[in-house]
Structure 1
Amino acid sequence: MTVSLEQLRRCHVAVDLGAARTRVYIKGAGLVVDEPSVAAVNTRTGALIAVGTFAEQMTGRTPDYIRVARPVTGGTVVDVEMAQRMLRHLLGEKLRRQLRRKPGLRAAACTPHDSDPLAQRAARETLMGIGARRVELVDTLIAAAVGCGLPVEQPTATMIIVCGAATTQIAVLSLGAIVTAVRLPVGGDAIDHAVIQHLRLQHALMLPSQSVRPLQLALHGNGLSPMGPESTEIHGRDVATGLARSVLVDTAAVRDAIHTPLTAVLDGIGKVLRDCPPDLVADLAERGIMMVGGSALLPGLDEMLRASTGMPVHIAERPDVCAILGLGAMLEGQIHPMVLDPLAE
C-alpha cells in the first residue's frame, strides 16, 4: 500500500469511503461530495431509491420492500456493487461526465491501517466503477496527518488518533512513515450502542434509530466531565407496552456507560507508546496527541485522554474532513517530502 507522492500527483480524484460518510475530492475543484454512506434499495425491482442524506433519513421508516443498506463498514467496502452505485449517484451526472473526459482516469482512496488484501481489492474495484483505470491506496493515518497540518515529513514524532464511526486508529508517525500503529474496533457506533443498551436495561426504554446523536448532544454540556447537567429528559418507546413515554435519565450514569467502550482507546494508546522508541516518546510528551475524525468532536473526550495520558491533546480544526483534505493536498502537489540524499563516500 506504499505509494509515492509523484504517483498521487497524477491522480485526478480522491475518495474517502468511510463507514459514516463518503467524501470525494476532485483535483482543481476541491471537496465536491460529503454525504452519508447510505443507500436505499427497492428489493422487488432492485432499483436504487435514494442515497446520502435522504437515504439516511429513511432508516427505520421504510416498508418491508425497501432496504436501507450501508455498503461500507469500518472503512472497508463490504458490498462492492452497492458501493459503486452509491458513489455514481453521489457524484451526479455532471461530475461523472467530467471524469469520463479523462481517458486515463487515476483515483486515490483512503484505506484503514493494516487493511487486508481483500479490503484493498474491494476499494480498487469500487473506484473502477466510476471509470478509474488505476487506483492508488493511501493509509488513512498518513492522509489525516497531512490534512490536519502535522509535520509528518520531519524526524520528530507525531501521534494521531483517527476516531471513526466503526474503528479508532492510533499511530506514531515520523519521517513520513508509520512507526507503530494499532486499529481498534471501537468508534462512534460503539458509543451509540452503549447508550442504547443502558437505556434499555436501566429504564426499559427503546430509542428511535436516529435519536442517539441528539441524546449525546444533550450530554454535551461538558461532555464526559461531571460538570454537565445532572439529568436529561429522554423520549422513547416503552419496551413492554410499546407506548411512547419519557424518562428522566441520570446523566452521570450515561457518562459511565459511554466510558466503558472508551477504555479500549486508552489501552490502545498505551500499547502504541510501549511499542514506540524512547526518543519518540520524549517528543510526544512535548508535542502531544492530535485527534481527528467525527467522533473526536465528543466534548470531554480530549479532557479524558489528557487526564489519562498526561500529554497535551489537541483536536484538529476540521477533524471530520482531515483525511480527504490531506489526500487532496497530495493530489494538488502541496506536500513536499524531506529529501534524504545519500552521503558521498
Structure 2
Amino acid sequence: MTARLEQLRRCHFAVDLGAARTRVYVKGAGLVVDQPSAAAVNTRTGALIAVGELAERMKGRTPSYIRVVRPVSGGTVVDIDMAQRMLRHLLGDRIRRTLRRRPGLRAAACTPHDADPLAQRATIETLVGLGARRVELVDTLIAAAVGCGLPVERPEATMILVCGAATTQVAVLSLGSIVTAERMSVGGDAVDHAIVQHLRHQHELMLPSQSVRPLQLALSGNGLTPHGPESTEIHGRDVATGLPRSVKVDTAAVRHAIQTPLTAVLDGIGKVLRGCPPDLVADLVDRGIMMVGGSALLPGLDQMLRQATGMPVHIAERPDVCAVQGLGAMLEGKIAPLALNPLAT
C-alpha cells in the first residue's frame, strides 16, 4: 500500500476509476457516485453531451458526429481531460461545492497492482484537476480486500481475485501487505468479446454489444456450467443480409468459446500460488479465494475456479463496490493499523 492509514484518514473523498464504472466515496456521506465510465462527445464542437448511464445507453446508437468514449482503460486514465470532465458532471454541483469548502482538499484513489509511474501520475493529475491538493494512492487489491471484510492485517494468508472489465488481478495478502500478486490483461470484456466472435463465426450473427451480458444471464441455470440449460434462443443481425434473425445457441459451445480468457485467469492463480511461501498456501486450503469486482458475477465462474483449483471459492456480498468501500473504510478510520512494538533489549 503506497499510502499509510494515517494519511488516508485525512482524505475527504475517494475515487475508484474503473474501465467499466466510476465510483466516488465522500467522507461522512458514503458512496455518492456509481456510474459507467462513459462520456458522449459532440466531435464537431467538443461539447460533452452525456456521462454515466445515459452515455452508456447511447453506445452504438448515435449519429456519426456523436462519439461515446471511455477515458479509463484497465483502471488507468488514458484521457486526463475527459476523465476530469466526466467526474465533474458525475459529482454534480452540490457535491463539488461541498468538497471545495474543505481546506486543503485531499483525495484517495485506487491504482492497479504494479501500475507504472505514468499511470499513477495520470490518476493524480485527474484528481488534482478536480481541486485536490494531495492525492493518496492505494493498491486496488488492498482496498478490495478491506472492502469485502478480509482480515488483511493478520499474519494469515488471504487470497483475493479482483475481476475487472479489462484486467483481472490476483494476490495473496498477509500482515497488511501483498506477498505475491499477478495482473492479467483479461477480464469481463474479453469474455464478452469471445462470445461475440463465437456467434459471428459459428452462426453468422452479430450481437449488439449491450446484449452480451443479458445473454450470459440467459445462459445461466446453474451458470455457464454443464448443469445449465442445453440451449437458448438469441436475437441479432445477420452478417450477410443485415436483417434481424434468431438462432438457438448451444451453451456447451459458448462455454468452450470463453475458455481462452478464463484459462489465462487460472494461469495467473497458479503463478501466484507457486510464488507463495508454503505456510501461507496451507492457510488457503481452508480459506480459499475471495472473488470481487463486477465480472465476479459471471455465471459459473466461481464453480469453474473451484473445480480447477480444488480450493473453496467465495463471492463477496457486493463484489462490484468492494474497492471503493475499502477506501471508504480507511477514510472513516474503521481500519486499525497493525502495531508491531520492538522488543526491549
TM-score normalised to the size of structure 1?
Answer: 0.99
Counterpart for residue 107 of structure 2: 107
Counterpart for residue 254 of structure 1: 254
Counterpart for residue 136 of structure 2: 136
Counterpart for residue 43 of structure 1: 43
SS in structure 2 at match of 1:110: strand
Indicate yes or no: 2:24 matched with 1:24.
Answer: yes
Indicate yes or no: 2:309 matched with 1:343.
Answer: no
SS in structure 1 at match of 2:162: strand
Counterpart for residue 267 of structure 1: 267
Indicate yes or no: 2:175 matched with 1:190.
Answer: no
**Counterparts of residues 122-201 of structure 1 (less than 5 Å):** 122-201=122-201
Which residue identity does 1:13 align to in structure 2? F
Which residue identity does 1:76 align to in structure 2? T
Q: Distance in 1 between matches of 2:225 and 2:47?
A: 47
SS in structure 1 at match of 2:41: strand
Which residue identity does 1:269 align to in structure 2? I
Contact 2:216 2:299 in 1 (8 A): no
Q: Distance in 2 between matches of 1:103 and 1:281?
A: 46
CA offset digits 1:185-236 (Å, max 9, x no partner)? 0100000000000000000000112111111111111112111111111100
How many Å apart are 1:258 and its aligned residue? 1.6
Q: Distance in 2 between matches of 1:251 and 1:224?
A: 7
Runs of at least 4 residues of structure 1 off by over 6 A? none
Contact 1:42 1:65 in 2 (8 A): yes
Which residue identity does 1:255 align to in structure 2? R
CA offset digits 1:234-282 (Å, max 9, x no partner)? 1001111111111111111011112221011111010000000000000
Q: Distance in 2 between matches of 1:173 and 1:62?
A: 45
Contact 1:33 1:90 in 2 (8 A): yes
User: How many residue pairs are counted as aligned between the two chains?
Assistant: 345
Contact 1:220 1:298 in 2 (8 A): no
Which residue identity does 2:271 align to in structure 1? K
- Greater mean alpha carbon deviation, residues 211-220 or residues 133-142: 211-220
**Counterparts of residues 61-80 of structure 1 (less than 5 Å):** 61-80=61-80
How many Å apart are 1:34 and its aligned residue? 0.1
- Greater mean alpha carbon deviation, residues 225-234 or residues 276-285: 225-234
Which residue identity does 2:172 align to in structure 1? V
CA offset digits 1:91-111 (Å, max 9, x no partner)? 000001001111300000000
How many Å apart are 1:36 and its aligned residue? 0.1
Counterpart for residue 95 of structure 2: 95
Task: Show structure 1 runs of 5+ residues with no match.
Answer: none
Which residue identity does 1:281 align to in structure 2? V
Counterpart for residue 316 of structure 1: 316
Q: Distance in 2 between matches of 1:261 and 1:83?
A: 28
Q: Distance in 2 between matches of 1:7 and 1:100?
A: 19
Which residue identity does 1:29 align to in structure 2? A
Contact 1:291 1:313 in 2 (8 A): yes
Q: Distance in 1 between matches of 2:314 and 2:249?
A: 31
Q: Distance in 1 between matches of 2:248 and 2:69?
A: 34
% identical equivalent positions = 83
How many Å apart are 1:45 and its aligned residue? 0.8
Which residue identity does 1:147 align to in structure 2? G
CA offset digits 1:78-133 (Å, max 9, x no partner)? 00000000000000000010011113000000000000000000000111121101
CA offset digits 1:12-58 (Å, max 9, x no partner)? 00000000000000000000000000000001111100000000000
SS in structure 2 at match of 1:210: helix
Q: Distance in 2 between matches of 1:39 and 1:86?
A: 6
Task: Show structure 2 runs of 5+ residues with no match.
Answer: none
Contact 1:168 1:185 in 2 (8 A): yes
Which residue identity does 2:106 align to in structure 1? R
Which residue identity does 2:166 align to in structure 1? A
Contact 1:39 1:50 in 2 (8 A): yes
Q: Distance in 2 between matches of 1:303 and 1:207?
A: 26
**Counterparts of residues 225-240 of structure 1 (less than 5 Å):** 225-240=225-240
Contact 2:217 2:299 in 1 (8 A): no
Q: Distance in 1 between matches of 2:136 and 2:144?
A: 16
Q: Distance in 1 between matches of 2:3 and 2:249?
A: 50
SS in structure 2 at match of 1:68: strand
Which residue identity does 1:37 align to in structure 2? S
SS in structure 2 at match of 1:342: coil
Contact 1:39 1:55 in 2 (8 A): yes
Which residue identity does 2:329 align to in structure 1? A
How many Å apart are 1:299 and its aligned residue? 2.2
**Counterparts of residues 294-313 of structure 1 (less than 5 Å):** 294-313=294-313
Which residue identity does 2:19 align to in structure 1? A
Q: Distance in 2 between matches of 1:173 and 1:102?
A: 34
Which residue identity does 1:264 align to in structure 2? A
Contact 2:158 2:173 in 1 (8 A): yes
How many Å apart are 1:175 and its aligned residue? 0.1
Contact 2:226 2:252 in 1 (8 A): yes
